[in-house]
Amino acid sequence: MTMQFIDLAAQQARIGEKLHDRIRAVLAKGDYIMGKEVAEFEAGLSTFCGAKHVISCANGTDALLLAMMALDVKKDDAVFCPSFTFAATAEMVPFFGAVPVFVDVLPDTFNIDPASLTRAIQHARTLGLNPVGVVPVDLFGLPADYDAIEAIAAEHGLWIMADSAQGFGGVYKGRTTGSIGRIATTSFFPAKPLGCYGDGGAIFTDDDEIAKRLQSYRVHGKGAHKYDNERLGMNSRLDTLQAAILLEKLAIYPDEIEKRQVIAARYSSALANAVGVPHVPEGLTSVWAQYTILLRDEAQRDGLAAHLKSAGIPTAIYYPRPLHRQTAYGGFPVDPNGMAVSESHATRVLSLPMHPYLDEPTQRTVIDAIIDYVK
């Protein structure tokens, strides 16, 4: 048996029958686009996280794009994004003629550093940009520091668009991600904590007006009906089949989040003396999209990854290069104090096998191999 980094087959074994029933029901009915499962799933997400409106769409990147359309992002607007994230977080911003301004992250949570955000806002103003919004990322499943970000956003009149592609279902001091921010977005890419069997995404908001615009933008800017085009939109819908699959996955998601806590706690207690383990601040719950450790330096990180690979243990590096160091993003502004944490972490992070079905003996193998290498 080869060890899985994320074991989707184990989840399928658990709910396989139900998935097949769901898929068969869609095939029998044939309503592949916007079938009843789509609305049913949106309602389930709304109940789950508490957001008033949920608009599903084709993927997490489109969710970010649609959200920026609804917020009317414009030329020379500055949108603040962490640099230590997946490219999609910042990718849509330049399509509006707006400018992503990169913010550093905190060393212990890997999420937006509020002090860096404040510096980046001042810096954007000196560049003649118009600061309009911030895109906090709930990296690796851990909610960002929303109290601090909300205070800064209120002071500077910014909207918050939470990129919770990795963090949907996480809790920040009693609030579930999806319900935090003017808008929140998520992704159902198969490897995300709540994933489908293809591409999928969703947008969350309490704002009736924004919700109305999103409904329209995702179907060619429709008005009262499909052939009434009020605005330029796009085609970005969640397939009925994916919604049907996600309904069964959402049903077990709370239990899976619980299981992820147990596995993360087991890693942390066993590894805390050997490597840097993830820090979860008081009052927060991570959904553990990744369990990411910090090594001393790049040599130790790469050595450990090779050691684990030779022992048949898969690992991944999220992310080997911060966005402001990427060819596509290198020309955009950054925190004037520099991006030390993003740059250092890119050389030191290593993500371990993490999923709700990781059994204790298998996890023991991973832990022993790490301790064996770093001791």
User: Burial code of 126-154, b = ≥16 C-beta within 10 A, e = fewer?
Assistant: eeebebbbbbbbbbbbbbbbbebbbebbe
User: Which of 284, 288, 323, 341 lies closest to 81, judged by CA?
Assistant: 323
Residues that contact ligand PLP, how many (by CB under 6 A): 15
Stretch touching ligand PLP by CB under 6 A, among 24-32, 54-62, 263-271, 337-345: 54-62
Nearer to ligand PLP, 121 or 137 (CB): 137
Q: Provide the 10 A C-beta neighbour count for residue 219.
A: 17
Strands (E), the chain: 53-57, 77-82, 99-103, 130-134, 159-163, 171-172, 175-176, 183-187, 201-205, 284-285, 291-294, 349-352
Nearer to ligand PLP, 59 or 363 (CB): 59
- DSSP one-letter code for 300: H
Nearer to ligand PLP, 86 or 267 (CB): 86
Residue 311: CB minimum distance to ligand PLP, A: 27
CA–CA distance, 330 with 321 (Å, rounded to integer)? 11
| Residue 35 in the binding site for ligand PLP (CB under 6 A) | no
Q: Helix, strand or coil for residue 180?
A: coil
| Residue 137 in the binding site for ligand PLP (CB under 6 A) | yes
Residue from the set 189, 204, 267, 291 that interacts with ligand PLP by CB under 6 A: 189
Do 67 and 203 form a contact (C-beta atoms < 8 A)?
Answer: yes
Stretch touching ligand PLP by CB under 6 A, among 81-89, 110-118, 229-237, 277-285: 81-89
| Residue 245 in the binding site for ligand PLP (CB under 6 A) | no
Residue 98: CB minimum distance to ligand PLP, A: 17
Name every residue whose Cβ is closer than 8 Å to that of residue 236 and which is 6 or more positions away in sequence. 57, 58, 59, 62, 65, 66, 201, 217, 218
| Residue 86 in the binding site for ligand PLP (CB under 6 A) | yes
| Residue 187 in the binding site for ligand PLP (CB under 6 A) | yes
Nearer to ligand PLP, 89 or 363 (CB): 89
Task: Give the phi and the psi of residue 352 in degrees, each rounded to 5.
Answer: -100, 165
Residue 291: CB minimum distance to ligand PLP, A: 15
| Residue 181 in the binding site for ligand PLP (CB under 6 A) | no
Residue 232: CB minimum distance to ligand PLP, A: 21
Nearer to ligand PLP, 354 or 370 (CB): 354
Residue from the set 11, 56, 61, 286 that interacts with ligand PLP by CB under 6 A: 61
| Residue 166 in the binding site for ligand PLP (CB under 6 A) | yes
| Residue 354 in the binding site for ligand PLP (CB under 6 A) | no
| Residue 59 in the binding site for ligand PLP (CB under 6 A) | yes
Instruction: Work out whether the CA dihedral 347, 112, 49, 241 comes out positive or negative.
Output: negative
Residue from the set 11, 85, 205, 292 that interacts with ligand PLP by CB under 6 A: 85
Considering only residues 101 through 130, tell me which ones interact with ligand PLP, judged by CB under 6 A.
none
Residue from the set 141, 169, 178, 201 that interacts with ligand PLP by CB under 6 A: 201
Instruction: Work out whether the CA dihedral 297, 298, 300, 304 comes out positive or negative.
Output: positive
Residue 246: CB minimum distance to ligand PLP, A: 13
Residue 127: CB minimum distance to ligand PLP, A: 25
CA–CA distance, 166 with 188 (Å, rounded to integer)? 9
Stretch touching ligand PLP by CB under 6 A, among 70-78, 163-171, 265-273, 292-300: 163-171
CA–CA distance, 171 with 148 (Å, rounded to integer)? 16
CA–CA distance, 332 with 75 (Å, rounded to integer)? 14
Residue 57: CB minimum distance to ligand PLP, A: 9
Bond preceding residue 146 cis, omega within 30 of 0: no
| Residue 170 in the binding site for ligand PLP (CB under 6 A) | no
Task: Give the phi and the psi of residue 36 in degrees, each rounded to 5.
Answer: -65, -25
Nearer to ligand PLP, 102 or 373 (CB): 102
Q: Provide the 10 A C-beta neighbour count for residue 310.
A: 9
User: Burial code of 345-363, b = ≥16 C-beta within 10 A, e = fewer?
Assistant: bbbbbbbbbbbbbbeeebb
Chain positions contacting ligand PLP, by CB under 6 A: 59-61, 85-86, 88-89, 137, 163, 165-166, 187, 189, 199, 201
